[in-house]
């Protein structure tokens, strides 16, 4: 069955430290890949997306993600985390020609001083 897995439910990172959030997918072909962020009481905001081409994609707020076909992964990274990055992060995938995004269960990022 097709699925999206975010193995970490919670992650705590010190402010200024680097961040990596994991996302793995299980699909027959390379899907379209997305990362969204949800701040408390807000809807989801698109951080970045990968369709094809360069496997390292840059997004907003200093985030980047790398697609690794061999590992079926699309991990989100940031070199230096700010307190305002504390939020829940969702990985999502869509198959070309399909009309809905499938979301992972999310990773809650806590930033410690």
Partner 1 sequence: GAGVSQSPSNKVTEKGKDVELRCDPISGHTALYWYRQRLGQGLEFLIYFQGNSAPDKSGLPSDRFSAERTGESVSTLTIQRTQQEDSAVYLCASSQRAGGSYGYTFGSGTRLTVV
Shortest separation between residue 46's beta carbon and partner 1, angstroms: 5
Our CB check for partner 1 shows the closer of 97 and 113 to be 97
Are 90 and 103 in contact by the 8 Å Cβ rule? The answer is yes
What sign does the dihedral 15-80-24-31 (CA atoms) show?
positive
Our CB check for partner 1 shows the closer of 80 and 96 to be 96
Our CB check for partner 1 shows the closer of 93 and 111 to be 93
Which residues of this protein are in contact with partner 1, per CB under 8 A? 31-32, 34, 36, 41-46, 49, 51, 90, 92-106
Residues 6+ away with beta carbon under 8 Å from 32: 49, 50, 51, 93, 94, 95, 96
Shortest separation between residue 68's beta carbon and partner 1, angstroms: 19
Our CB check for partner 1 shows the closer of 17 and 46 to be 46
Residues 6+ away with beta carbon under 8 Å from 2: 25, 26, 27, 28, 93, 95, 102
Shortest separation between residue 19's beta carbon and partner 1, angstroms: 20
């Amino acid at each position: 069955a097709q699925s999206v897995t975010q193995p970490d439910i919670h992650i705590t990172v010190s402010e200024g430290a680097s961040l990596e959030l994991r996302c793995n997918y299980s699909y027959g072909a390379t899907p379209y890949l997305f990362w969204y962020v949800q701040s408390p009481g807000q809807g989801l905001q698109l951080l970045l997306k990968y369709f094809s081409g360069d496997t390292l994609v840059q997004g907003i707020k200093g985030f980047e993600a790398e697609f690794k076909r061999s590992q079926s992964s699309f991990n989100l990274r940031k070199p230096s985390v700010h307190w305002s990055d504390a939020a829940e992060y969702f990985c999502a995938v869509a198959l070309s020609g399909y009309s809905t995004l499938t979301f992972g269960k999310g990773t809650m990022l806590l930033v410690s001083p």
